Chain A
Amino acid sequence: MSDFINFFLSRSNQIGNLTLQHIELTIVAVIAAIVIGVPIGIIITRFKSLSKYIIGLANVVQAIPSLALMGFLIPLFGIGSTPAIVMVFLYSLLPIIKNTFTGITNIDSEILEAGKGMGMTNSQLLRLIELPLSLPVIMAGIRIAAVTAVGLMTIAAFIGAGGLGYMIFTGIQMYNTQMVLAGAIPAAILALLIDFIIEKIEIKVTPKGIKK
């Protein structure tokens, strides 16, 4: 145990840098997934016939093993951080699209009809009713995506993108358990921390009137 602590302290600078890098990569990927995924989720509630195909496609993407997916991405994006971000982005899309879609379609149709019947335009309906009421569900999707993304991003080290995966892979290659742990433990703590932070945001954005 004390060996590990000594190792950890001696490498603390490096671990700190890798953690920051890891956070940066994850955040970029997840934010991109939010920016693209939420609008897609909204659009498929307006064109319900599309929803099957879009969600199906996102399902297929998620079914591809992560290493294989990265393999596909290297010819397109080379190596480095780009393919890693794209990979995590693609994995994050599904929960975000799916939850946005479910969140909006599960709103009581009578509430929507009340809004429409009182003269709301489609965009007012979205802004005043649909988004506020589905926000908790959308945030839950983002939370799942972000937590998964932290774990997935460790693979990024495989193609030289850095992050905490670097410690893990180097440790495996060198049969150095302490090194593996020095990457894995911060990654796990990071995942829990992100889960905790997004949960707080989730509670904050949930309209007061629909809190349980």
Chain B
Amino acid sequence: MIEFKDVRKSYDDGKEIIKGINFTINSGELFVLIGPSGCGKTTTLKMINRLIEPTSGKILIDGKDITKGDPIELRRNIGYVIQQTGLFPNMTIGQNIEIVPYLKKWPQQKRRERTMELLRLVGMEPEEFINRYPNELSGGQKQRIGVIRALATNPDVILMDEPFSALDPITRNQLQDELFDLQQKLNKTIVFVTHDMDEALKLGDRICIMKDGNIIQLDTPEEILKNPAHGFVENFIGKNRIWSNPDYIKAEDIMINNPVKANPKRTVLQAIEIMKSNKVDSILVVDGDEKLLGIATSKDMSKKEGSKKLEEIMETDVITAYNDDTISEILKIMDEKGVGFLPIINKEKKLVGLITKSSLITVFSKLYS
């Protein structure tokens, strides 16, 4: 766990570039720092391994003030990945990966074994690569080496400063996926600086958006997309960005929240009145606990006596979806089952909303308005 407590940084000319930031990075999360250039994201990152010292405030790692120890020792215990130029061109791939173990005086045998293990971890054949030089590798290969170099001594915390920004889009995507998979296995605390919102959304457990030395918004990718802090964040992530990430759009975001519903003891006559005044052609039948029992449409009612109870005529075999199903799942269900409406229930099977064809059209039309 990394804690920033009222951390400030100003330069000699008095310009304050970090203006008192407070936040906590949890263990095992991939924490993204993002913002336009000059926002202070890289400065924030470099304060964690003391390449930059804060002017005031405290930074704690697992409760310990990092300024209390030796910076060299601190840095050896934190992985550090920068853009591809960060590999030492005078050293072989093997020597590059082994650099921190070497500085920590591991025996040679142990260093070599670890290097082989790491190369295999990213699918690079040790025999083929260990004695080659960085300039003989492609950009993507170099960056893989950069990442595993940071893992060499198995540190708990890894800092990554725009590691993929110099790569072509295809390789970048590939490395992002690899990093994501690696993180699922290793569960490191990763602090990741980027200026690419797509990258942040793809990788981050939480995203911290900075501007002019302040934190504008710190939240999960989903929350940031749904409820971007006003103004800056909206513009920064781009309006309607959520539509390019349909997995973040849940049924509850697009459903009608107050569907017309009725108690099973209601009569058909009453139900028709309710439907009329709400201008709908079907009614959801729920019990006193809001549990969905069935659905009654105007067609079901038309041939029935007005005194019949809803529970006698309703269809009980209702296709439903959960409130946290994604929009793509919803569309799939509606398409496959050929239904025009979909009651939405939560985990306790309580009715929470309704999605109909027309409500979907309303949602989509907002996108293009």
Contact = CB atoms under 8 A, between A and B. Distances in A.
> How many interface residues does chain B have, given as a range?
20 to 34
A114 B86 contact: yes
Interface in A104-139: 108, 110-111, 113-121, 124, 128-129, 132-133
A114 B82 contact: yes
Contacts of A128: 88, 91, 99
Given A110-B85, A111-B88, A129-B90, A116 B75 contact: yes
A75 interface: no
B350 interface: no
B76 A210 contact: no
Given A114-B80, A129-B90, 5 more contacts: A114-B82, A114-B86, A114-B87, A116-B75, A210-B90
B2 interface: no
Given A209-B133, A209-B134, A209-B135, A114 B88 contact: yes
A207 interface: yes
B75 A119 contact: yes
B181 interface: no
Contact of A116 (B51, B133, B159): B51
Interface string B72-116: 111111001011011111111000000110010000000000000
Nearest to A135: B90
A113 B82 contact: yes
A124 B103 contact: yes
B90 A132 contact: yes
A210 B85 contact: no
Contacts of B149: 118
Contact of B89 (A120, A124, A207): A207
A204 interface: no
B247 to A, nearest CB: 35
A132 B92 CA distance: 13
Contacts of B100: 118-119
B49 interface: yes
A76 B159 CA distance: 59
A115 B82 contact: no
Contacts of A200: none
Contacts of A120: 72, 103
For the residues of A in contact with B, the DSSP-based class is: helix
A52 interface: no
Interface string A44-63: 00000000000000000000
Give the top 6 A-B pairs by smallest Cβ distance, nearest first.
A209-B133, A119-B76, A207-B90, A114-B86, A119-B75, A117-B80
A104 to B, nearest CB: 13
B89 A209 contact: yes
A67 B82 CA distance: 54
A119 B89 CA distance: 18
A31 B214 CA distance: 56
A119 B103 contact: yes
Interface in A14-52: none
A208 B89 CA distance: 9
Contacts of B91: 128, 207, 209
Contacts of B46: 117
Contacts of A207: 89-91
A118 B103 contact: yes
Q: Chain B CB within 10 Å — which of A129, A133, A209 has the most? A: A209
Contacts of B82: 110, 113-114, 117
B249 to A, nearest CB: 39
A141 to B, nearest CB: 19
B307 to A, nearest CB: 80
A79 B327 CA distance: 95
Contacts of B73: 119
Interface in A158-212: 207-210
28 contacts: A108-B85, A110-B83, A111-B86, A111-B87, A111-B88, A111-B89, A113-B51, A114-B80, A114-B82, A116-B51, A117-B46, A117-B51, A117-B75, A117-B159, A118-B80, A119-B72, A119-B75, A119-B77, A120-B103, A121-B72, A124-B103, A128-B88, A129-B90, A133-B90, A207-B89, A209-B134, A210-B90, A210-B135
